């Protein structure tokens, strides 16, 4: 199209020159030595246009010939890249579908001609990991880094994922810590570190990392709160004595101290060290701040130095929580310590009526034995035993429906860790 326009332009110029010189008798004389050439002005102008056109055409032809090898190379490269692009698409599809062998072959074969070799090599590494061939996997990771040296972070994160999948936790930790030195604010590295430290039970390191995780993009703050409470709970539980427990408790942020699970755990440690007055005060304040059944239960177990004052405080909760079995049981225990046998019996029987529990039956039987009502004690002992047998029969898993543990499913923290029944971190 461009050549046609040039030819038309030359034709127009030639016509204009010819028409312009039709009535003009001017001429042009060119001489060299004994040779003399005389042309009319219009013919000379036309010849000049033709010569310029020929020179232009020769120049274009020379440029075309000169650039032909490059054009051929570009054509071949484009063809290879097109084939590599199709191989990348098919390889990624095979990788997603778990066809590891096909994925590795397509992605590795097309990597050298790929416009995005990093994707090819990383995909081939994942396929080799799926095939269980660590030598090829590591070679592909090395080639991925060599193809795009600036993508060290992406290659490192992928390598850490493989190490985690293979339970090489120490290696994964070393890899992620090295990556964090180079990219301290990278959210993916921080998130992977958080998961790894939780899996390894490195609770102190996890607590130190949590502020960075909270500040990173996309962090669920509710999840972060639960994880921080879990970490502090394990640190508290691992203390060797009550002095260490108090020191650990003082390091816990006030927001975390107000969580029911941590308050209950610390109170249990105090009760175990026979620091009942401290536990009673802690639990009473916590219950009045936010009702929690586990806290009320532990409040009833606390053998404070002033049972009457403890009873008065607990009975103040009856107006809002008078039908709570845990409160009724706690009141029964406190009344027993105050030797208020009648009130203790009434509270314990009311607790059983609201929700029969083996422990409440046991406390009631102990009370009745103390006041020499052996017949009633035997009666409630039989009822308690029947309740335990019935409860165990009802909760026994069916042979046709395996439990989550048998099915290989992970339990939730609230089902398998430190907080008591009905509580989560």
Angstrom distance (rounded) from CA 290 to CA 309: 20
Name the residue with tokens 């390889």. 91
Check: CB of residue 147 under 8 Å from CB of residue 159. no
CATH number, position 309:
1.25.40.10
Residue 15 lies in a domain: no
Tens of each residue's pLDDT in the chain, 425 residues = 565 566 556 656 665 655 555 555 577 777 777 787 777 766 777 777 777 778 877 887 777 777 767 665 656 555 665 676 787 888 999 999 999 999 999 899 888 888 888 999 999 999 999 999 999 999 999 999 999 999 999 999 999 999 998 999 999 999 999 999 999 999 999 999 999 999 999 999 999 999 999 998 889 999 999 999 999 999 999 998 999 999 999 999 999 999 999 999 999 999 999 999 999 999 999 999 999 999 999 999 999 899 999 999 999 999 999 899 999 999 999 999 999 999 999 999 999 999 999 999 999 999 999 999 999 999 999 999 999 888 887 665 544 433 333 333 333 223 333 454 445 56
Check: CB of residue 18 under 8 Å from CB of residue 29. no
Residue 26 corresponds to which tokens in the numbers above?
């001017």
Q: Which residues contact 255 (CB under 8 A, 6 or more apart)?
A: 225
Q: Which residues contact 48 (CB under 8 A, 6 or more apart)?
A: none
Residue 328 lies in a domain: yes
Residue 263 lies in a domain: yes
CA-wise closest residue to 43 among 31, 25, 61, 60: 25
CA-wise closest residue to 198 among 222, 223, 218: 223
Residue 385 lies in a domain: yes
Residue 88 lies in a domain: no
Residue 5 lies in a domain: no
Q: Which residues contact 272 (CB under 8 A, 6 or more apart)?
A: 242
Range(s) of the domain holding residue 318? 255-393+419-425
Residue 239 lies in a domain: no
Domain count, the chain: 1
pLDDT digits (tens, 9 = 90+) for 299-357: 999 998 999 999 999 999 999 998 999 999 999 999 999 999 999 999 999 999 999 99
Angstrom distance (rounded) from CA 8 to CA 409: 80
Check: CB of residue 106 under 8 Å from CB of residue 87. yes
Helix, strand, coil percent values for the chain (each to nearest 5): 75, 5, 20
Residue 354 lies in a domain: yes
């Amino acid at each position: 199209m461009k050549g046609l326009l040039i030819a038309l332009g030359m034709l127009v110029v030639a016509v204009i020159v010819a028409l312009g010189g039709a009535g003009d008798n001017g001429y042009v004389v060119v001489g060299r030595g004994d040779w003399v050439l005389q042309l009319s002005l219009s013919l000379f102008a036309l010849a000049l246009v033709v010569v310029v056109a020929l020179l232009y055409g020769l120049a274009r032809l020379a440029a075309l010939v000169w650039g032909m090898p490059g054009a051929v190379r570009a054509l071949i490269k484009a063809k290879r890249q097109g084939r590599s692009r199709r191989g990348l698409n098919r390889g990624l599809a095979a990788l997603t579908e778990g066809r590891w062998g096909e994925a590795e072959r397509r992605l590795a074969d097309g990597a050298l001609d790929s416009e995005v070799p990093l994707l090819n090599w990383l995909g081939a590494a994942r396929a080799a990991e799926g095939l269980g061939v660590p030598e090829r996997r590591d070679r592909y990771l090395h080639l991925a880094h060599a193809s795009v040296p600036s993508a060290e972070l992406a290659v490192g994160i992928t390598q850490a994922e493989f190490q985690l999948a293979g339970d090489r936790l120490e290696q994964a930790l070393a890899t992620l810590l090295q990556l964090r030195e180079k990219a301290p604010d990278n959210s993916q590295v921080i998130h992977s570190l958080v998961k790894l430290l939780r899996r390894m039970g490195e609770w102190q390191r996890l607590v130190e990392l949590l502020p960075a995780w909270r500040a990173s993009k996309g962090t669920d703050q509710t999840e972060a709160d639960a994880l921080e409470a879990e970490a502090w709970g394990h640190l508290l539980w691992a203390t060797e004595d009550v002095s260490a427990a108090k020191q650990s408790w003082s390091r816990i942020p006030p927001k975390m101290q107000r969580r029911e699970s941590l308050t209950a755990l610390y109170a249990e440690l105090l009760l175990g060290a026979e620091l009942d007055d401290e536990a009673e005060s802690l639990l009473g304040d916590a219950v009045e701040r936010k009702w929690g059944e586990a806290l009320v239960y532990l409040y009833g177990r606390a053998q404070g130095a002033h049972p009457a004052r403890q009873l008065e405080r607990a009975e103040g909760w009856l107006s809002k929580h008078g039908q709570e079995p845990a409160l009724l049981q706690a009141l029964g225990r406190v009344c027993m310590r105050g030797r208020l046998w009648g009130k203790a019996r009434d509270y314990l029987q009311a607790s059983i009526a609201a929700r029969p529990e083996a422990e409440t039956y046991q406390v009631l039987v102990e009370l009745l034995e103390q006041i020499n009502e052996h017949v009633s004690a035997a009666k409630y002992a039989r009822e308690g035993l029947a309740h335990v047998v019935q409860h165990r029969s009802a909760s026994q898993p069916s042979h046709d429906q395996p439990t989550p543990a048998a099915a290989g499913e992970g339990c939730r923290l609230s089902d398998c860790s430190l907080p008591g029944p009905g509580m989560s971190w």
